[in-house]
Amino acid sequence: MKLRRVKAFAHAKVNIGWRVGPRREDGYHDVSGVMQTISLADELTLEADDGDGVRVIVPGHPGLESSNLVLDAAGLLERFARPTKITIDKRIPIAAGLGGGSADAAAALCALNVLWGADLPARRLVELASEIGSDVPALLLGGLVHASGRGELVRRIGSTSGFGFVLGISDQGISAADAYRAFDELPGSGSDRIEHNDLEAAACAIVPGLAARVEIMRETYGTAWVSGSGPTVVAIGSEIPERIAASFDRVELAEPVDAGVVLRLTT
């Protein structure tokens, strides 16, 4: 009996150290760093039906329904396709440096591989993931992952443990393209700190007041950094003092998780 319904949980990530090289001839940058998937996750429900093609529904975010990396993932499996409705319950903030769109694409790729009976091996899924976006392979693997190249070269290196993350989230988002463009225009700002992110200065240049919020997090938790292209600020901690809650539009506690994508199957 063919499956009719699959639930997929797409976990966000935080970057723990992110080094960025000069722009390459193909327009990308060489990167090197570590990503850790966290407990904050979107939930995707994929239902095979008698509708027309693949439809994406994102309650509360209609702008994401016609332009979504999930559709790119479905396109890569087109020869196996069945009419399918994909509903995304967005819990990961958009354009926040937490990889929400890439996580959804990774989850859709894994779920459609099962729902449509493609039965592609994990190695092939990782290869396809790299065609969707630079963060997608790492988020498909999950856990603690080292990424290099433009992000498509990934190696799982285990998982962090014994601590949680405080996420200071801003309503203003930053697209990865804008962050890298600003990075190209700024002078270099390297650091030997493990958690240093080369894109932090770019994020702070784009979002007014972000640099001050980073400092507040550092003063409170001892260390803090911008995740990915920002503007989410990450610290290691398990409590949210009033000062931190008042400094951001939204604050979340998250834990590291070993999984990138988790599937639940229904006939």
Q: What are phi and psi of 181, to 5 degrees?
A: -65, -45
Distance CA 79, CA 64 (A): 24
Given a contact cutoff of 8 angstroms between Cβ atoms, the answer to whether 37 and 260 are in contact is yes
Active site residue 49: no
CA nearest to 50, candidates 9, 87, 4: 4
In the set 13, 42, 104, 198, the catalytic residue is: 13
CB-neighbour burial class of residue 171 (10 A; exposed 0-12, middle 13-18, buried 19+): exposed
Active site residue 30: no
State whether the Cα torsion 183-184-188-193 is positive or negative. positive
Distance CA 62, CA 215 (A): 35
In the set 42, 104, 135, 198, the catalytic residue is: 135
52-61 per-residue burial string, b: 16 or more CB within 10 A, e: under 16: eebbbebeee
Residues catalogued as catalytic = 13, 135
